[in-house]
Structure 1
Amino acid sequence: MTDSIFEIEHKIRALEREIQEIKERWKEIKSVKEQERKGVDHANISAIAYFTYSFLLPKGDEQKGVVIGSFVIHNIGSAALETPVICLKVTPKECAVLSAKLGEDVQYDRRLNPLVMEPWQYIDENMKKMVEERGEFWIKPVRVSQIEPGQKLAFSNFQLKFDISRVQTSYKMEGFFYCKQLQNGIRALNNIVIHV
């Protein structure tokens, strides 16, 4: 009789485990169905951003050095990245000057370099104040609204000008990429740093 009680208790525990597993699976199924209903995409969202640049030394008695660079975003995920925005931060903001061709009317020859074809503009008119206050350039592409998987987008041929004086100074440019899917942003893999 005691053997049959132990067998019954063993069967009850086994049934309880099975019921628990079924409940957990049911929760997973409900969660997936709910996400599908909300339109959540299970695609891989991933990107990298980086600078490419060249440093031009001043000639003769000139006191201005120049960095000519590009900020490149590469979508390495499996889903499109929508509404791309970049922030380039220059420090110290008082000394370094960033110049670039911004606006809708900037035209490039796509045959020469496909990364150099996209014009950029400030994300809104108030962003010009951010340049003065924080040294931050918030810009977005004019025509491109998303970066497809495997594709690249570049803010090309900007110039960072800086003073080379007797006072030892470090200049730094940091880059950040944001989009609808990456609202907290990602930091560039590298920075532009100049010690003079």
Structure 2
Amino acid sequence: MLNVNITNNGRKVSSISPDSLAAFYYFLNESGFETQLDHEHHTLELKPGLHEKHITLSPVMHSHLNSFRRNQVEQQILLQIKKYLEHSGAKVTILAEEKPSILADFHLRLAITELVKLQEPVIELSYNAKPNNRKWLSILRNEIRKYGASFQSNETINDLTPYLTIQANHPEIKNETFWNDYGQNYAIMIAMSILARFRSDMPLSLLSYLPLEFLNQPISKTNKSKKTQNELHKENSNQVKKISLDTSKKIVRETAETFFDYQTILDSEKRKVKLLVTFTIKNTGTTQLTNPLICLKTGPDNEIKISGQIVPPNVAQSMGIMNDSGASGWKYHANDWHEHLREKGEIWISPIQDLTIQPNTQHSLNNVQISLPSNEKTAKVQIEGFVFFNEQKLEVQSNNRILVSY
């Protein structure tokens, strides 16, 4: 029997034995490919995961940004994103204007600005609410914080076309340096997030985003000459010894990382700004970490107000979240926390119950509401995060910080 040719747009990319057709056909469908089997011509036509998806890209068209724009870098990033998505099968169009076609499946708006007074990048996201937002939003957040940038996200419910608006505000930096240090990484992380946005619930569907040439790559090659049984036995014995020696040394590493994830709510009429904040602690070491002590530091000049699921220490046992082992949750570390905030600009928070964070797991301080001052003297607020593990003698500063100008 003739082999079945795997084709894309009529071009052969691989071939398989007809005896493997059923299993391979099932694999391709589970991987997110669209398939069409032609028994007469012994072909299996494949369409990649983003086949027939139309994605539009455009710069953010706001006149107040024009004097701060980095147009050359914007175009470089948009062109690179276009290449990445087209290679995964999408139809991608770069628009000169911001408004996308209602027939588009997704629209990206991008602005790269240069603000001389900034000391670190500030990335602002705006997107419309969809049930599958969480995955791609998590990818962007995790990638952005690798570069020490502040991250802000706002969710809306308008627009028929799913969209994402990214405004990356940067300190002054040369175009060529910017592209090498930030631009290429932005193109990759944005393209990754769009791919995640389209990903279905099928666990293998990521394969359908790869170029189809991967089907024609051999799994492995070897040029090693044949060895005698004695040589193989000696080699295996040495490998066992090496493995035994390696596994006998257990590496103990006490490390952690922390980061903010927050949304900004602005009431322009009353000139009030509120932040909805989550502060996450991740154990990146090899041993457990216990009883984190959190410090949110803003400075005594910023008259912020804090509320949420944090209770005073004297009522923690009665107002905490109750479970089988008693009250849990978070409390202010001292009864005079108000005075500490006013005098030093610091908020100290600790767990109500003993808290253990195992390796490769994380724990979050959720739903913290911070109201920013509305007086005209203060137009910029910065909040930093620190975590102290006293038992492990470990201090960790957050990967990013909250920076709001209004």
Structure (1 or 2) with the greater helix fraction: 2
Structure 2 equivalent of residue 72 of structure 1: 280
Q: Does 1:147 align with 2:357?
A: yes
Matched, 1:98 2:312: no
State the Cα deviation string for residues 21-60 of structure 1 (Å, max 9, x = none): xxxxxxxxxxxxxxxxxxxx9511110000000011115x
AA partner of residue 274 (structure 2): V
Report the CA distance shift for 1:69/1:108 in structure 2 as closer, same or farther (over 3 A): farther
Shift of 1:108: 8.8
Question: RMSD of the TM alignment (CA)?
Answer: 2.6
Between the aligned partners of 2:322 and 2:264, the Cα distance in structure 1 is 23
- Are the counterparts in 1 of residues 290 and 354 from structure 2 also a CA contact under 8 Å? no
TM-score, scaled relative to structure 2:
0.33
- How far, CA to CA, are the matches of 2:378 and 2:251 in structure 1? 50
Aligned residues: 148
Tell which has more relative contact order, 1 or 2 (C-alpha 8 A, sep 6+). Answer: 1
Partner of 1:28: none
CA pair 168-85 structure 1, distance change in 2 beyond 3 A: closer
Q: 2:330 aligns with which of 87, 103, 120?
A: 120
Q: Report the equivalent of 1:58.
A: 267
Change over 3 Å in CA distance of 1:88–1:168 after alignment to 2:
closer
- TM norm structure 1: 0.66
Identity of aligned residues (%): 23
- Is the 8 Å Cα contact of residues 92 and 172 (structure 1) preserved in structure 2? no
SS for the counterpart of 1:172 is strand
Which of 140, 144, 156 matches 2:366? 156
Q: How is 1:128-143 mapped onto 2 (pairs within 5 angstroms)?
A: 128-143=338-353
Change (3 A) 1:149 1:85: same
Unaligned ranges ≥5, structure 2: 1-249
1:51 counterpart letter in structure 2? F
Report the equivalent of 1:33.
none
Question: Does residue 107 of structure 1 match 2:321?
Answer: yes
Does the 8 Å CA contact 1:45/1:181 hold for their aligned counterparts?
A: no
* Counterpart Cα distance in 2 of 1:168 and 1:123: 27
Gaps of 5+ in 1: 1-40, 110-117
User: C-alpha distance in 2, partners of 1:164/1:128?
Assistant: 19
- Cα shift at 1:145: 2.3
Contact 2:285 2:359 in 1 (8 A): yes
SS class of match (2:321): coil
Distance 1:190 1:94 in 2: 19
